[in-house]
Chain A
Amino acid sequence: MKQILVVDDSSVIRKVAKRILEDLRFQTAEAEDGKKALSACAFLMPDAILLDWNMPVMDGFEFLRELRKMPGGGKPKVVFCTTENDVAHIARAMHAGADEYIMKPFDKQIMRSKLEEVGLV
Chain B
Amino acid sequence: MSEWFDRFRDFLSRSSGVTLDADKAYFAESRLLSLAQQHGFGSAEELFARYERTRDKVLERDIVQAMLTNETFFFRDRIPFDHFRNVILPHLVEARAQQRQIRIWCAAASTGQEPYSLAMILDEEARKLTGWRVEIVATDLSDHALDVARAGLYTQFEVQRGLPVNQLLRYFQREGDRWRVVEHLRARVNFRRFNLLDDYQALGSFDVVFCRNVLIYFDLGMRKRILGKFAAGIAPDGYLALGATESVVGVCDAFEPHPKHQSICTRRTPPVAPVASGRPILKVIAGG
Tell me the A residues contacting B by CB distance below 8 Å.
85-87, 90-91, 94, 100-103, 106-107, 109-110, 113-114, 116-117
A86 cross-chain contacts in B, Cβ below 8 A? 174
B163 cross-chain contacts in A, Cβ below 8 A? 113
**CB-CB contacts below 8 Å: B246-270 with A:** none
In the bound complex, CA of A102 to CA of B165 (Å): 8
B42 proximal to A (CB < 8 A)? no
A114 cross-chain contacts in B, Cβ below 8 A? 160, 165
B121 proximal to A (CB < 8 A)? no
Closest to B158 in A: A110
Of A90, A106, A116, the contact of B168 (CB 8 Å cutoff): A90
Given A110-B157, A114-B160, check contact A101 B165 (CB 8 Å). yes
A–B pairs, 14, beta carbons within 8 Å: A85-B156, A87-B173, A90-B168, A91-B169, A94-B165, A94-B169, A103-B156, A106-B160, A113-B73, A113-B160, A113-B161, A113-B162, A117-B164, A117-B165
B160 cross-chain contacts in A, Cβ below 8 A? 102-103, 106, 110, 113-114
Q: Are A109 and B165 within 8 A (Cβ)? A: no
Q: Are B165 and A100 within 8 A (Cβ)? A: yes
B166 proximal to A (CB < 8 A)? yes
Given A113-B162, A117-B164, check contact A90 B156 (CB 8 Å). no
B162 cross-chain contacts in A, Cβ below 8 A? 113
Closest to B74 in A: A113
5 further contact pairs, Cβ within 8 A, besides A94-B169, A107-B157, A113-B160 = A85-B156, A101-B168, A102-B160, A109-B73, A110-B157
In the bound complex, CA of A94 to CA of B168 (Å): 12
**CB-CB contacts below 8 Å: B177-227 with A:** none
B169 cross-chain contacts in A, Cβ below 8 A? 87, 90-91, 94
Tell me the B residues contacting A by CB distance below 8 Å.
73, 78, 156-157, 160-166, 168-169, 173-174
Closest to B162 in A: A113
Q: In angstroms, how far is the closest chain B Cβ from the Cβ of A25?
A: 19
Q: Are A100 and B164 within 8 A (Cβ)? A: yes
In the bound complex, CA of A103 to CA of B178 (Å): 12
Q: In angstroms, how far is the closest chain A Cβ from the Cβ of B217?
A: 21
In the bound complex, CA of A85 to CA of B169 (Å): 11
A116 cross-chain contacts in B, Cβ below 8 A? 78
Find the residue from B160, B163, B164 having the highest chain A CB count within 10 A.
Answer: B160
In the bound complex, CA of A116 to CA of B162 (Å): 9
In the bound complex, CA of A116 to CA of B160 (Å): 12
A106 cross-chain contacts in B, Cβ below 8 A? 160
Find the residue from B156, B161, B162, B165 having the highest chain A CB count within 10 A.
Answer: B165
Closest to A111 in B: B160
Q: Are B165 and A110 within 8 A (Cβ)? A: no
A117 cross-chain contacts in B, Cβ below 8 A? 164-165
In the bound complex, CA of A109 to CA of B72 (Å): 12
Q: In angstroms, how far is the closest chain B Cβ from the Cβ of A91?
A: 6
In the bound complex, CA of A117 to CA of B163 (Å): 9
A90 cross-chain contacts in B, Cβ below 8 A? 165, 168-169
Q: In angstroms, how far is the closest chain A Cβ from the Cβ of B181?
A: 14
In the bound complex, CA of A106 to CA of B78 (Å): 20
In the bound complex, CA of A62 to CA of B164 (Å): 24
In the bound complex, CA of A114 to CA of B164 (Å): 7
4 closest A-B pairs (Cβ-Cβ)?
A101-B165, A110-B160, A113-B162, A117-B164
